[in-house]
Chains A and B, each alone.
Chain A
Amino acid sequence: MAKRFSIRQQTGFTTIACACFFLLYLPIAVLVIYAFNESSSVSDWGGFSLRWFVAAWSNQQVVDASWRSLKIASSAAVIATIAATMAALATTRTRAYRGLTFKYAFINQPLMVPEIVTGVALLIFFAQIKIASGYTGLGYLIAAHTAFCIPFAYLPIRARLENMDLTLERAAADLYATPWNAFRRVTLPLLWPGIIAGLMLAFVISLDDVVITEFVKSGGQDTLPTYMLGQIRRGITPEVNAISTVFLLLSVVIVTLFFFMSRKRD
């Protein structure tokens, strides 16, 4: 019998794979290593030290930007996930009709429209509202982040709903569950992994955003990414490396937590 085709046995497979991994992880590794640099240079190693973590921690601007980022990301992620859950229910628990595909595209619009366009549009739009209302708080950033987070929360939730056996909801109704009870007792518990996945994804996307935030923020509303961008313009110190390292750690923790949570459910 002929040997089955296996990509692993092709010449050069290992080399290409290693090259890809190097390209992905080497810069990150360098960044993390230089976060522990004693010297103020990001290219000359001056011995191990935690001084840049301490420096970042005691920099009031960094602390403020971090809190702002977390506030915006958690608010936007929660609101976006609620909206996405409702949108997913409305677009899956229905018979196919003319215009349903258009609705999918409409919900996922932020994935297709260039961020720079959304950024400029929101800048102009919010400027009008700011003048009219006088309100200049974080609400604008939360609203903007919610808007572009919705498709990221929507996709995993819709996938989960589409894979769910519709007969289960029918069985619940057959056993005297009102639509609300059927949702609360059957649909929602089965949907949780999708909702959590959507929430995490939305949170990470919001935390990371630069372009739209840069356009929408008012003075003194720097998030961590826009603060870092501003710092780099003035010259890089290992303080930025230290902040990035903490950021990276946070992401890894979130993803790991989610992985274990979803595994426990199955």
Chain B
Amino acid sequence: MPDTPGKNAIEVRGVRKVFGTGEAQVAALDTVSVSIRENEFFTLLGPSGCGKTTLLRLIAGFDFPSEGEIMLYGQDIAPLPPFKRPVNTVFQSYALFPHMTVAQNIAFGLEMLGKPRAEIDARVAEMLKLVRMEKLAKRRTSQISGGQQQRVALARALAPQPKVLLLDEPLSALDYKLRKEMQIELKRLQHETGITFIFVTHDQEEALTMSDRIAVMSSGKILQVGTARDIYDRPAVRFVADFIGETNFLDARIDSVDGGKAKVTLKSGATIAATVADGFKPDGEATVVIRPEHAKAVKGTGDISGVVENVVYFGTDTHVHVKLDDGESFTVRQQNTRGAMMEFERGERVGIVIGDDAAQILKD
């Protein structure tokens, strides 16, 4: 997908967040800059402790950056307290007010904004309908299920029509089936309300299926920003390639670079085509990544070769684990089709054919 320059809802500029003082200082965010577009479903993805929740808290206003600016439609909101930011949050624990009913919870933000009663009532009714909770409006929040609490938390955060909605791992407390339902529900809500969503998760599958764009974070830094396809097919660094999906790493020597394309020679002597991240000029030695489903195992010779170590049948596909001649491991994933099965046996010599567009050169 080409970059369509739209309006930016949020621009994070050179934000650092340091906890502690002196020797014990820890940078939770180490100079992060990112732009989030209007109406986008944007995901911050990374393992726990990578700084994604810290960044969300800075945007919400529960914490303030040590350095840098956070622009909301061109206005720096970094110094504002949370109640002065037109941004709402769906909390991981939902944080519903236990002494209020479902409807009172949803009305809270509108009441605090001083909206007239008639407008509040109409908006609450609309929100209840949006999350399909009309029948439970008068219930206490302790009398509804986890999935229903999740919907109320969403309705409560959406009711004041925030410019940006922040979601802090909102699905992590739900069981698998409910989580799948809520993923679809969230996409629908984002589409219907047209509000920019910033979604925090450590679940790569959730990130890939839901997001317009993803920022992968590690150790307080944003490593790569792009669509699910970009991140999966064209990982820029080793961490991104490793964190999302399964992958193979191969050492290679750079022969020539021409814009986004390059020729590399693998240890086996085979020369393959590889893609290069935007604005990166590799030379000398580099690592290339190849996704298991972008390579093919063949009987005979391929670009690289080795011995089959293990074959694992997964129903939809089969994983062939190969020990390459140089000692490295390589996994190939083949789609299973009825009848036309390619059978491999342990100990058998195989060749691996790497597709023309399959390899990506990493920056590190």
Contacts and interface: CB of A to CB of B under 8 A. Distances in A.
Contacts of A175: 83, 88, 108-109, 112, 156-157, 160
Categorize the interface residue count of chain A: 10 to 19
Contacts of A185: 108
Q: Is the interface of A mostly helix, strand, loop or mixed?
A: helix
Given A165-B95, A171-B95, A178 B83 contact: yes
Contacts of A182: 83
A171 B82 CA distance: 9
B97 A176 contact: no
Interface in A140-191: 165, 167-168, 170-178, 181-182, 185-186, 189-190
B160 to A, nearest CB: 7
Categorize the interface residue count of chain B: 20 to 34
Contacts, number: 60
Interface string B68-108: 00000000000001111001110101011111000000001
Nearest to B88: A174
A178 B61 CA distance: 13
Contacts of B91: 167, 170-171
A190 B93 contact: no
Interface string A38-71: 0000000000000000000000000000000000
Given A170-B62, A171-B89, A177 B99 contact: no
B304 interface: no
Interface string B194-210: 00000000000000000
Given A165-B95, A189-B99, A170 B112 contact: no
A189 B113 CA distance: 20
A173 B93 contact: no
Interface of B: 60-62, 81-84, 87-89, 91, 93, 95-99, 108-109, 112-113, 156-157, 160
Given A172-B97, A176-B160, 19 more contacts: A167-B95, A168-B98, A170-B62, A171-B89, A171-B96, A171-B97, A172-B112, A173-B81, A173-B83, A174-B82, A174-B87, A174-B157, A175-B109, A175-B156, A175-B160, A176-B113, A177-B83, A177-B112, A181-B112
10 contacts: A167-B93, A168-B95, A170-B95, A171-B96, A172-B97, A174-B83, A174-B89, A175-B156, A176-B83, A176-B84
